[in-house]
Amino acid sequence: MTGIDLTPGFVATAERLSDLVGLSGQTQFAVADATTIHFPDRHFDSATLLHVGMNVEDKAALFSEVARVLAPGGTFHVYDIMRVGEGDLSYPMPWSSGPTTSFVERSEAYEEALASAGFTTTTEPVNRMPLVAKALSSAQANPPAVNLSHLMGENWPEMFSNLTAALKGNVLAPIEIVGTK
């Protein structure tokens, strides 16, 4: 498994977590830009975009790069926070300190960029808000010892509050889309 992220701290955290759970021999991580992936064509059988698209303005370039590094028949699983309703967002959010670096889109924009890159979506976009609501409720009842606040820093309470308000207000939702090349 290979992971990339623009943020060196997130890469270091991924490496440390892999060590902690005994998977460091099966994983590698690199600081890299997902719109210019430095791997050869058809290098991977599958790819996952997990809460990254909100940080990437040029989703067409991102999805074209993923298509380039995926082998024919490869699966691309997208799981991002997407806009599902109208309304302003309050910042900071977990992915951005302000609107100039936040690129939240509707699922239709993702589907269009996926199609332009040569992907066929295998299902309709799935709103995973019920699953997230259940997980949040469970986490509030029994907070995990290690959580995002450890990674996100002192602004985490405000980020989490803003995100929660947008999720509860049906402005944003976690959406899953699966495509094949």
Residue 68, helix vs strand vs coil: helix
In angstroms, what CA-CA distances link 111 with 57, 76, 118, 122, 136?
A: 15, 12, 11, 11, 28
pLDDT reading at 97 higher than 70: yes
Q: Does residue 6 sit within a domain?
A: no
Whether the CB-CB separation of 176 and 76 falls below 8 Å is answered with no
Domain count, the chain: 1
Say how many Å lie between the first and final Cα of the chain, rounded.
Answer: 19
Sign of CA dihedral 132, 138, 140, 144: negative
pLDDT of residue 159: 92
Q: Tell me the pTM.
A: 0.90
The predicted structure's pLDDT at residue 16: 92
Rounded mean pLDDT of 140-167?
81
Region 32-52: what's the mean pLDDT?
94
pLDDT at site 58: 95
Domain of 51, CATH number, reads 3.40.50.150
What pLDDT shows up at residue 156?
A: 82
Question: How confident is residue 132, by pLDDT bands cut at 50, 70 and 90?
Answer: confident
Any domain includes 13: no
Residue 123 lies in a domain: yes
27 in a structural domain = no
Neighbour count for residue 72 (Cβ, 10 Å): 8
Looking at residue 150, its pLDDT comes to: 67
Q: Are the beta carbons of 1 and 26 closer than 8 angstroms?
A: yes
As a whole number, the mean pLDDT across the chain is 92
* More confidently predicted of 60 and 149: 60
Distance CA 109, CA 70 (A): 21
Residue 8 lies in a domain: no
Q: What are the pLDDT digits (tens) for 45-96?
A: 999 999 999 999 999 999 999 999 999 999 999 999 999 999 999 999 999 9
Per cent of the chain over pLDDT 70 is 95
Structural domain harbouring 95: 33-180
- Is 14 a domain residue? no
Domain-embedded: residue 11: no
Flag whether 65 is in a domain: yes
